[in-house]
Amino acid sequence: MLLSSRRIVRATALSFRRCRFGTSGRLKGDALEHFYYSKLIVSGVPTSFASKSIRKNEPSEPIDLVKARYEHANYVWQINQLVKDIVYVQEDENYPDCVFVEDPAVVFNGTALIMKLGHPSRVGESQNMKCVLESLDLHIVELSKLSPTATMDGGDVLFTGKEFLIGLSARTNKEGIEAFAEVFHDYPVAAVQSETLHLKSMCSMVGVGVIAISSTPAGRQAQYEIEQKAHYKYDYLIFPDDGAANCLFINGVVLHATPEEYPRSYHVWYDYNRYPKIEVPNSEMAKAGGLLTCSSICIN
């Protein structure tokens, strides 16, 4: 059975105010209810992660499995302070990247879209995650049944509180985005060209109406496309590094990378004081392209 019987239940209550949207399309007010999550899904780190996980380039230092598990345990502990219910999925040694649970599914408003992942070695992760999500009484939709040619990774899906921005990347194709728009038809969908592994490899939500994004060529191109294609207007928090722009905005708190990982970008985090912040080490996951959003599925 993939779903562990262990549920971690402990959190602090956070208040939030309702959102208002102006007629100009600019986000107004503190729409924290759009980023308020009652449940998160995480996975263990398989032993195979250290040697067999997918990575674009070999890191200068090999993945330290002990450190990776330590960092991941801290990650889970930190989010457990913010979310009352964490579902812990047993790691599967057949899928070295299974700790990156964000990719196999997107869950929103009671519906779980099971992805057909863009990398062949990860396809089986989707069925494993489907079993977990079925146990949570969610409405299940499978991308492969909507379009046989569609592919999509959850790391390409950015929900802004009012619309979905989806990366058109090596892992997510046009057919996948079209099928996604059919499932979550109550919200606009805008396709954004992504030159990084995933769209969220260089951007994420860092607050209500605020997108963290890198100033690299890929980040600048993505920001231009968002400004041209998005249905709403956003503010931007600009980082020199792609990975530093990936953060988790959960229940009014921002979890972000450490200065040791991105020293050039840390002054941006230091000066950003709109919400409480927590530094979360993630050096070993990052060696396999895994950033902070990658290791959890947030359920509202």
Per-residue pLDDT tens digits for 211-267 = 999 999 999 999 999 999 999 999 999 999 999 999 999 999 999 999 999 999 999
Which of the following is catalytic: 98, 203, 247, 294? 294
Q: Which fold has domain 3-9+33-299?
A: L-arginine/glycine Amidinotransferase; Chain A (3.75.10)
Q: Of residues 98, 198, 203, 247, which has the active-site annotation?
A: 198
Kindly state the average pLDDT of the residues 79-102.
97
8 A C-beta contact, residue 219 and residue 203: yes
> pLDDT tens across 100-114, in order?
999 999 999 999 999
With CA atoms as reference, report the closest residue to 50 among 285, 214, 228: 285
Interacting residues of 263 by C-beta distance below 8 A, sequence separation 6+: none
Length of the chain: 300
**Is 185 in the active site?**
no
Asked if 24 contacts 261 with a C-beta cutoff of 8 angstroms, the reply is no
- Under the banding of pLDDT at 50, 70 and 90, the label for residue 23 is very low
**Has 198 been annotated as catalytic?**
yes
The answer, as to whether pTM is greater than 0.85, is yes
Phi, psi of 274, rounded to the nearest 5 degrees: -70, -30
Residue 117: phi and psi, rounded to 5, are: -65, 150
